[in-house]
A and B are shown apart, each in its own frame.
Chain A
Amino acid sequence: NAGVTQTPKFQVLKTGQSMTLQCAQDMNHEYMSWYRQDPGMGLRLIHYSVGAGITDQGEVPNGYNVSRSTTEDFPLRLLSAAPSQTSVYFCASSYSGRGYLTDTQYFGPGTRLTVL
């Protein structure tokens, strides 16, 4: 298993540009989520999905869109990039997301995004 993969690893955008961060998992997990991590801070939940076709907002959803057309993929779209979106973005997945004691959440390696 490759686990959770993210592409690209690094990205530089200009203000106003749009792009999609890719996330894929091969563990047949129902639950997937996107977080952003700013320097010296914890992770903040952007959007999450409890299964194909179902998405919901997290703590900081503004400026981001998601969709979940398949179990494996959960892309994050930046509609019009702003400098405030400069951050490291992590995708995560787990079997159910319901917090069972054996339901470990696996994180991808992250995408470092800079918006100029």
Chain B
Amino acid sequence: GESVGLHLPTLSVQEGDNSIINCAYSNSASDYFIWYKQESGKGPQFIIDIRSNMDKRQGQRVTVLLNKTVKHLSLQIAATQPGDSAVYFCAESPGYSSASKIIFGSGTRLSIRP
């Protein structure tokens, strides 16, 4: 069946280092992928997204990489800061015309070591 999952449930990173959060998806028809950040007690917050016709997209301190061959998505955070501590979710849409049905993965908790 369709699924979006994460390789690691928790990730601990030294402050200032780069963080890489990985995500696997199983539906080859997925056309649109999103990364969200969720801080404790708050709703998810959009970070960055990417369409299936792209391999890489950059934002401010964040980069999303998409490898359609192995159905793998990653989020890279440069120079990780204490404010980056949160749970990160990848999400997919099963098709461009059905982008409203966004399916979330289970999340990775990112903790920052001082």
Complexed CA–CA distance, A99 and B104 (Å): 14
CB of B100 within 8 A of CB of A40, answer no
Stretch at the interface among A13-21, A67-75, A77-85, A104-112: A104-112
Instruction: Answer whether residue A33 sits at the interface, using C-beta atoms and an 8 A cutoff.
Output: yes
B107: chain A residues at CB < 8 Å are 40-42
CB of A43 within 8 A of CB of B46, answer no
CB of B43 within 8 A of CB of A97, answer no
- Quote the shortest CB–CB distance from B7 to chain A (angstroms): 14
**In the complex, chain B residues 30-66 whose Cβ is within 8 Å of any chain A Cβ:** 31-32, 34, 41-46, 49-51
- Count residues of B near A (Cβ-Cβ below 8 Å): 27
Instruction: Answer whether residue A52 sits at the interface, using C-beta atoms and an 8 A cutoff.
Output: no
- Quote the shortest CB–CB distance from A105 to chain B (angstroms): 6
Instruction: Answer whether residue A27 sits at the interface, using C-beta atoms and an 8 A cutoff.
Output: no
Complexed CA–CA distance, A104 and B47 (Å): 9
B49: chain A residues at CB < 8 Å are 99, 101
CB of B51 within 8 A of CB of A104, answer no
CB of A99 within 8 A of CB of B43, answer no
Q: Identify which of A41, A50, A56, A109 contacts B43 (C-beta below 8 A).
A: A109
Q: Identify which of B42, B97, B102 contacts A109 (C-beta below 8 A).
A: B42
CB-nearest residue of chain A to B100: A97
CB of A48 within 8 A of CB of B104, answer no
CB of B43 within 8 A of CB of A107, answer yes
CB of B46 within 8 A of CB of A99, answer no
B residues sitting closer than 8 Å to A (CB atoms) are 4, 31-32, 34, 41-46, 49-51, 89, 91, 93, 96-97, 99-107
- 26 A-B residue pairings within 8 Å (CB atoms): A31-B100, A35-B104, A41-B106, A42-B104, A42-B106, A48-B100, A48-B101, A50-B100, A56-B100, A59-B103, A90-B43, A92-B43, A97-B100, A98-B99, A99-B49, A99-B51, A99-B96, A101-B50, A101-B51, A104-B46, A105-B46, A106-B46, A107-B43, A109-B43, A110-B41, A110-B42
